[in-house]
Amino acid sequence: MTKKVLKFGGTSVGSIQRIIHASKIIKNEHDKGNKILVVVSAMAGTTNNLVAHSESISKKFNKRELDVLLTSGEQVTSALMAGALNQLGVKAKSWMNWQIPIITEGENTNARIIRIITENVNKYLDSGGVAVIPGFQGVSKLGDITSIGRGGSDATAVAIAKIFQTDSCEIYTDVDGVYSSDPNKIPLAKKIDKISYEEMLELSSLGAKVMQSSAVQTAMMNNIPIQVKSTFTERKGTEINNNDIIDYSKAVTGVAYSKDDAKITLLGVEDKPGVAADIFEPLSNNQINVDMVIQNISTDGKKTDVTFTIKRQDSKNAISLIKANKKIKYENIYMNDKVSKISIVGAGMVATPGVTYKMFRSLSEEKINLLAISTSEIKISVIIDEKSTISAVKKLHKTFNLD
């Protein structure tokens, strides 16, 4: 007998028929004698519809009430899933975040789980029941409903796996596992059988949408094995585990891309100690996350150009904050919100010379200009013109033998 977390994403529970199909997967695991905790997302499209409802009232809808609104989607799925399991003869019960409770801290719409009370749920599991838990949400110490941010159902599943000390965490989605790139855009992308936490963390943070990056990070810190598999086929999925499974013979594991970036450049910034902190402090105070940063200092050492990237949705706010910032002096400011970020990821880069050259040469062969570059031990990211995104990904996929 093992204790498992089975997490079903929005597409896996996107209709009543799909919920019934998922309930049969859960029943099969339960019939094997396993203790099962089920984590569900809202039905596909539900959260976007709820956001649209809030925006029809106000673009600055109250964050507390927004969390109450958005978390209702997972509550609906939890009840439907528990009902479907009961119909199959499986003892099941939905548990709302405040009934367990799942305690969070942090601001509304971006809280984090800090504690889960396990006693009552464990008693229910011991009695042979299946616990169905809504992802994406918790309750604050003040009793307010909170959400963990978009994609937070993955984070809920991994947190539950950690705190309930389960043997595994299985993420069910609409694809067979983790692919070398987006299979919907790159038909020749292939499934990765095994991938390290570090590689998966890079891919998820760079635009791969199979798993939320914070969930991967929690799994890595607590050595929680994860399996990503399809709800709709019985093919073997992808195992996400520790460094022991890394294949160092392959330089690049996957190619990721995101098309929600913007590039901002400050020209002729007065160069002095603390100028970078003065530029980025107001952005940090306004919850704007800065990704790549490039600084070029003039030959006389008096002026510098600073380029950085942020999420596209934050670009107008960032420009306003910079223009209102009296601590910095610059000659001009430019913003380009028609860019994308292309990244190659692979633990084998550490031991393979020439990866950077191959990437840049292959992009130049496609007449693609590089607007910014960022590197780490297992990742190289570049900013390019948005219209060249798919051709760049296809070229890199071929260059590094990922087809």
Nearest of 151, 133, 139 to residue 102 by alpha carbon: 139
Q: What's the rounded Cα separation, in Å, for the pair 82 and 106?
A: 30
Which of 174, 203, 229 is at the close of a domain? Answer: 174
The boundaries of the domain holding residue 46 are: 3-174
Which of 174, 192, 208 is at the close of a domain? Answer: 174
- CA separation, residue 116 to residues 121, 160, 164, 279, 329 (Å): 10, 8, 9, 39, 49
Percent of the chain with pLDDT strictly greater than 70: 96
- CA separation, residue 48 to residues 10, 69, 111, 137, 184 (Å): 11, 11, 19, 16, 21
Residue 16 CB neighbour total at 10 angstroms: 11
- Contact 374/202 with Cβ under 8 angstroms? no
| 146, two tokens | 């909170």
For residue 277, the domain's CATH number is 3.30.2130.10
- Contact 362/326 with Cβ under 8 angstroms? no
| 124, two tokens | 């229910």
What are the helix (H) ranges across 3-43?
16-31
| 183, two tokens | 């299979």
Residue-wise over 145-183: b if at least 16 C-beta within 10 A, else e? bbbbeebbbbbbbbbbbbebebebbbbbbbbbbbbbbbe
197 occurs within a structural domain? no
- CA separation, residue 305 to residues 269, 281, 295, 332, 353 (Å): 6, 18, 6, 10, 31
- CA separation, residue 362 to residues 22, 259, 399 (Å): 43, 20, 7
**Tell me, what's the pLDDT at 243?**
64
For residue 116, the domain's CATH number is 3.40.1160.10
pLDDT in tens, the chain (403 residues): 799 999 999 999 999 999 999 999 999 999 999 999 999 999 999 999 999 999 999 999 999 999 999 999 999 999 999 999 999 999 999 999 999 999 999 989 889 999 999 999 999 999 999 999 999 999 999 999 999 976 789 999 999 999 999 999 999 998 888 888 888 788 888 888 888 888 888 888 766 677 878 888 888 888 898 999 999 998 889 999 886 656 666 788 899 898 889 999 999 998 888 888 999 999 999 989 898 898 887 666 688 899 999 999 999 999 999 999 999 989 999 999 999 999 999 888 877 888 999 999 999 999 999 998 888 888 999 999 999 999 999 999 999 988 8
Which of 123, 155, 174 is at the close of a domain? Answer: 174
| 287: region left, alpha or beta (phi > 0 left; psi from -120 to 50 alpha) | left
- The one-letter amino acid at 293: V
The answer on 137 and 31 residing in a single domain is yes
Nearest of 242, 233, 171, 236 to residue 208 by alpha carbon: 171
Q: What's the rounded Cα separation, in Å, for the pair 26 and 143?
A: 31
225 occurs within a structural domain? no
61 occurs within a structural domain? yes
Q: What's the rounded Cα separation, in Å, for the pair 5 and 164?
A: 9
| 205, two tokens | 């943070």
| 351: region left, alpha or beta (phi > 0 left; psi from -120 to 50 alpha) | alpha
Q: What's the rounded Cα separation, in Å, for the pair 24 and 43?
A: 17
279 occurs within a structural domain? yes
Q: What's the rounded Cα separation, in Å, for the pair 283 and 317?
A: 9
Question: Contacts from 313-320 at CB under 8 Å and sequence distance 24+?
Answer: 313/260, 314/262, 314/288, 314/289, 315/262, 315/264, 317/286, 317/288, 318/262, 318/264, 318/283, 318/288, 319/264
The answer on 269 and 137 residing in a single domain is no
Count of domains forming the chain: 2
The answer on 266 and 388 residing in a single domain is yes
The answer on 275 and 383 residing in a single domain is yes
The answer on 151 and 34 residing in a single domain is yes
Count of residues making up the chain: 403
